[in-house]
Chain A
Amino acid sequence: MTEKRITIVEKILDANDRLASENRRRLNENTIFAINLMASPGAGKTSLILATIHALLDQSVPIGVIEGDTAPVTIDADKISAVGMPVVQINTGGECHLDAVMVENALDQLPLATLDLVIVENVGNLICPAAFKLGTHSNVLIASVPEGDDKPYKYPNIYRGLDVLIINKIDLLPYLDFDMDYFRQGVEMLNPGLKTFALSCKTGEGLEAWLSWLQATKPS
């Protein structure tokens, strides 16, 4: 019997990453821009999606939505359906995040050829979704101000991988002890120069900048 050490140095989630690349290829083939929308529960993921759909409806941008939830519910999917956009509900069965396989299956159920934009609403969680690539083009996190200004310090991993940060519920700032400078300092240390939009889905304040970015970034 011989003993041997074998050097591997492989990313632990490499299999998922490879599937994610396949999803990306498929999205690109259909000239679709896709977003992985992450946030803690209640930060306003569905509200932002609905506000985005409503705003882009006038400009006839067809948007597909993939809704991730841990429990077998269709509350969010029903809201998207109600505004007439194609939606696929994924129930992860207790898993705390979406992965590339789940998104692959969901893409099968969307009319990809007719879509310009796909928004994937990840499971409400600031930890696990950060580790799993989905194949989307842009990682977007919503941080809502009632959650507190210390979140970048407590959940550094998710901030490291972001392309866009949305600070939501800014209409509540006068009522909260949210130190915006402290929050932004944490973000800047983890992800310098991160594109950030401060807005309120409720009042509509700041939404225009987010929508302009989206319009300019997605393939026309």
Chain B
Amino acid sequence: MHELAVTESVLEIACRHAVKANAVRVTDIHLMIGRLSSIVDDSVQFYWDLISKGTLCENAKLHFKRIPATMLCLDCQHQYQLAGELTPCPKCNSSRVRVLSGDEFHLESIEIER
């Protein structure tokens, strides 16, 4: 469970940028998480509620934007998204594929009041 460490980092980044922008309050935080990254949204939310108390980010809403894992088949150039588990190309069954997206692990933006 590395969600606590992740949540602490989110809080640190959000507060740092909020202070820089002279915010009185952060209302929303937008996270971009690729499907291949392992993170449990509920768990981050749980820690968030605990550790954001008394900070500029108290009561800010966390939004998780899940970026699909997109694969490119090198044999037939077909692009496909993983619905669940990792699969070879659904068109030609080749496993000569590359991951195009899905590794993202970013804080994309915050919404503030000032």
A residues near B (Cβ < 8 Å) are 1-16, 95-97, 99, 127-128, 130-132, 152-157, 160, 185-186, 188-190, 192
The answer for the CA separation of A153 and B31 in the assembled complex, in Å, is 25
- Asked whether, in the complex, the Cβ of A132 is within 8 Å of the Cβ of B13, the reply is no
When distances are taken between beta carbons in the complex, the residues of chain B under 8 Å from A189 are 71, 86, 88, 95, 97, 99
- Asked whether, in the complex, the Cβ of B108 is within 8 Å of the Cβ of A7, the reply is yes
Cβ of B12 under 8 Å from chain A: yes
- Asked whether, in the complex, the Cβ of A3 is within 8 Å of the Cβ of B31, the reply is no
Take A13-B9, A185-B88 as given contacts and tell me if A1 and B114 are in contact as well, using a CB distance cutoff of 8 Å: yes
The answer for the CA separation of A69 and B45 in the assembled complex, in Å, is 27
The answer for the CA separation of A1 and B111 in the assembled complex, in Å, is 13
The answer for the CA separation of A127 and B105 in the assembled complex, in Å, is 14
The answer for the CA separation of A185 and B88 in the assembled complex, in Å, is 9
- Asked whether, in the complex, the Cβ of B98 is within 8 Å of the Cβ of A13, the reply is no
Cβ of B83 under 8 Å from chain A: no
The answer for the CA separation of A195 and B36 in the assembled complex, in Å, is 21
The answer for the CA separation of A175 and B31 in the assembled complex, in Å, is 45
When distances are taken between beta carbons in the complex, the residues of chain A under 8 Å from B112 are 3-6
- Of B1, B88, B98, B106, the contact of A12 (CB 8 Å cutoff): B106
Cβ of B107 under 8 Å from chain A: yes
Shortest CB-to-CB span from B60 to chain A, Å, is 13
- Asked whether, in the complex, the Cβ of A131 is within 8 Å of the Cβ of B38, the reply is yes
- Asked whether, in the complex, the Cβ of B97 is within 8 Å of the Cβ of A131, the reply is no
- Asked whether, in the complex, the Cβ of A186 is within 8 Å of the Cβ of B86, the reply is yes
> Could you pull out 28 A-B pairs where Cβ atoms are within 8 angstroms?
A1-B24, A2-B113, A3-B27, A3-B113, A4-B111, A4-B112, A5-B109, A5-B112, A6-B21, A7-B108, A9-B32, A9-B108, A10-B13, A11-B107, A12-B6, A12-B105, A13-B105, A14-B9, A97-B5, A99-B5, A128-B1, A128-B2, A153-B85, A156-B69, A160-B99, A190-B99, A192-B96, A192-B98
**Known A4-B114, A5-B110, A190-B99; 18 more pairs at CB < 8 Å:** A4-B112, A5-B112, A6-B109, A8-B17, A8-B107, A12-B10, A12-B13, A13-B5, A15-B9, A127-B38, A128-B2, A130-B38, A131-B105, A132-B5, A153-B86, A157-B36, A189-B97, A192-B98
- Total count of chain B residues near the partner, CB < 8 A: 38
When distances are taken between beta carbons in the complex, the residues of chain A under 8 Å from B88 are 185, 189
Residue of chain A at shortest CB distance from B110: A6
Cβ of B49 under 8 Å from chain A: no
Cβ of B37 under 8 Å from chain A: yes
Cβ of B58 under 8 Å from chain A: no
- Asked whether, in the complex, the Cβ of B2 is within 8 Å of the Cβ of A96, the reply is yes
When distances are taken between beta carbons in the complex, the residues of chain A under 8 Å from B27 are 3
- Asked whether, in the complex, the Cβ of A152 is within 8 Å of the Cβ of B86, the reply is yes
Shortest CB-to-CB span from B33 to chain A, Å, is 9
- Asked whether, in the complex, the Cβ of B95 is within 8 Å of the Cβ of A10, the reply is no
Take A9-B107, A15-B12, A153-B85 as given contacts and tell me if A185 and B99 are in contact as well, using a CB distance cutoff of 8 Å: no
Residue of chain B at shortest CB distance from A150: B85
